[in-house]
Amino acid sequence: MSSQRFEGRVALVTGASRGIGFATAQRLVDEGARVCITARKPAALEAAVEQLGGSDKAVFVAGSGDDRDHQAAAVELAVASFGRLDVLVNNTGINPAYGPLLDLDDGAARKMFEVNVLAALSWVRLAHRAWMAAHGGAIVNIASVAGFTPAPGIAFYGVTKAALIGLTKQLAVELAPRVRVNAVAPAVVKTRFAEKLYADDEDAAAANYLLKRLGDPADVAAAVAYLASDDASWTTGQTAVVDGGMIGGL
């Protein structure tokens, strides 16, 4: 890419062995960043690091996104490997339960809230303490259009994403002016995570969008890169809807 908006900067991207997280890490590296990526499976992360350009460009830590020791290890590795931590992308999210809210298992609901909301706060806290409090930075949370509108079948996932959007606004207030905090809210993106929402009939799913296609991970990565860059230096507390014309502005 011709743009090198992240030259000399370092990013930590969670849930980045594939899908939106990997596409985001790739976009940041393409624009000059070095990255620390996380996910649960070491083999997938090793392959992702190779795709990103090897250890000169990327390092990884495997673990569960809501595990505090894992979070601390990833932040520590990012700073130890590359000397700083300018960007945090909270991409890790889960949705282990489908169906009506009244049938939702309490344990599954608690786990979703822990991973999708509380873990994001914990990642921010650690990145802030390690680098951003003294030097500034940018944080981008990956939310969802389900956080804005009812989402039958994935309703509690939507509840957690609504909470993440609220968390984004609160953190923007608390961390200003040195740290900017924004979010991106995608509609259905063609990833393994979202397969249940489109696999049976992709054309029918895409018909609900003005642009008549589902999202690609690169679509979301582009929005994340903008919000994390100096091009968005006067933007904080906002959630950018990336939805192919499903709800944004309509």
Judge whether residue 141 has pLDDT over 50: yes
Read off the pTM: 0.94
pLDDT interval class at 204 (50, 70, 90):
confident
**What is the spatial distance between Cα 16 and Cα 89, in angstroms, rounded to a whole number?**
10
Judge whether residue 215 has pLDDT over 90: no
Round the average pLDDT of the chain to a whole number and report it. 94
Please state, in angstroms and as integers, the Cα–Cα distance from residue 232 to each residue in 8, 179, 185, 227, 228, following that order.
Answer: 18, 12, 17, 5, 7
**What is the spatial distance between Cα 33 and Cα 153, in angstroms, rounded to a whole number?**
38
pLDDT at 249: 38
Q: Is 210 helix (H, G, I), strand (E, B) or coil?
A: coil
Window from 78-82, 112-116, 149-153 with minimum mean pLDDT: 149-153
- Residue 39 phi/psi, 5-degree rounding, is -175, -175
Closest CA to 177 of 232, 133, 126: 133
**What is the spatial distance between Cα 170 and Cα 192, in angstroms, rounded to a whole number?**
31
Q: Where are the domains of the chain?
A: 10-183+216-236
Our CA angle for 50, 94, 248, nearest 5°, is: 95
Query: Of 193 and 199, which is predicted with more confidence?
Result: 193
Judge whether residue 202 has pLDDT over 80: no
Please state, in angstroms and as integers, the Cα–Cα distance from residue 132 to each residue in 146, 175, 213, following that order.
Answer: 30, 9, 38
- Residue 241 phi/psi, 5-degree rounding, is -85, 125
**What is the spatial distance between Cα 18 and Cα 23, in angstroms, rounded to a whole number?**
7
Judge whether residue 106 has pLDDT over 50: yes
Active site residue ranges: 157
pLDDT interval class at 198 (50, 70, 90):
low
Q: Look at the domain 10-183+216-236 and name its fold.
A: Rossmann fold (3.40.50)
Up-side HSE of residue 115: CA atoms within 13 Å toward CB?
20
pLDDT at 2: 55
pLDDT at 234: 98
**What is the spatial distance between Cα 75 and Cα 90, in angstroms, rounded to a whole number?**
13
Average pLDDT, stretch 44-64?
98
Four-residue CA torsion sign, 16, 18, 21, 24: positive
